[in-house]
């Protein structure tokens, strides 16, 4: 198993702090302590708190984008593959939402411009989802529902138990196949 890099260890520490203690607790000193690195070691990788948050967002964006693209590549069904990939990646990401949500929350609180890479990724996904071979409105509703599930978990807004969560996921995925589209419009 490859050794975890110091940079990744610092990003994980920052994500844990935001997730467990909130954005206000995110300081360079707290991150250095949590990551068990010197403050100088942290500053070597991230010259400021804003650079650290930018690193969180970029790291999260890369992981999320890779997960969606891998799911698209592995899907043998042409129609609905981007929508399914997004739903699956969002579901998987929300199971381990610490890093992902922490980067977004910290960026929103510190400098919303840091969210631009993620906003661009979402814009690209929406383009692909809208031309995914299924009704673009249906596909967009499914994307928004997956995001809603994730956000309800991030903020603890009546998160679902495992059984209901799985049923919701299965229903969302089922609706990505063209033969399951509603025909009475």
* pLDDT, tens digit, 9 for 90 and up, residues 26-76: 999 999 999 999 999 999 999 999 999 999 889 888 888 999 999 999 999
In the predicted structure, residue 183 carries a pLDDT above the cut 70: no
Which range marks the domain in which residue 99 is found?
50-180
17 is a domain residue:
no
174 is a domain residue:
yes
* Average pLDDT, rounded, for the chain: 87
Domain count, the chain: 1
119 is a domain residue:
yes
The structure tokens 């990788």 sit at 45
* DSSP per residue, 133-160: SS-HHHHHHHHHHHHHHHHHHHTTSSPP
9 is a domain residue:
no
Return the structure tokens found at 141: 């509703």
Residue 121 banded pLDDT, cuts 50, 70, 90: very high
31 is a domain residue:
no
- Is the overall model pTM greater than 0.95, yes or no? no
16 is a domain residue:
no
Crossing angle of helices 98-110 and 49-74, rounded to 10°: 140
Coil, helix or strand at residue 2: coil
125 is a domain residue:
yes
162 is a domain residue:
yes
Please state which of the ranges 65-69, 74-78, 87-91, 98-102 shows the lowest mean pLDDT. 98-102
């Amino acid at each position: 198993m490859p050794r975890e890099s110091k940079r990744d260890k610092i990003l994980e520490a920052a994500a844990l702090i935001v997730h467990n203690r909130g954005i206000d607790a995110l300081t360079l000193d707290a991150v250095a302590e949590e990551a068990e690195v010197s403050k100088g070691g942290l500053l070597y990788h991230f010259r400021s708190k804003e650079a650290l948050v930018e690193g969180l967002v970029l790291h999260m964006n890369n992981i999320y984008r890779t997960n969606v693209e891998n799911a698209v590549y592995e899907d043998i069904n042409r129609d609905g593959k981007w929508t399914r990939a997004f739903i699956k990646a969002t579901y998987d990401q929300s199971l381990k939402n610490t890093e992902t949500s922490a980067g977004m929350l910290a960026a929103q609180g510190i400098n919303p411009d840091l969210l631009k890479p993620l906003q661009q990724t979402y814009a690209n996904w929406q383009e692909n989802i809208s031309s995914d071979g299924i009704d673009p409105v249906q596909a967009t509703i499914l994307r928004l529902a997956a995001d809603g599930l994730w956000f309800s978990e991030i903020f603890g807004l009546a998160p679902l138990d495992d059984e209901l969560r799985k049923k919701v996921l299965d229903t969302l995925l089922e609706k990505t196949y063209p033969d399951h589209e509603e025909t009475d419009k």
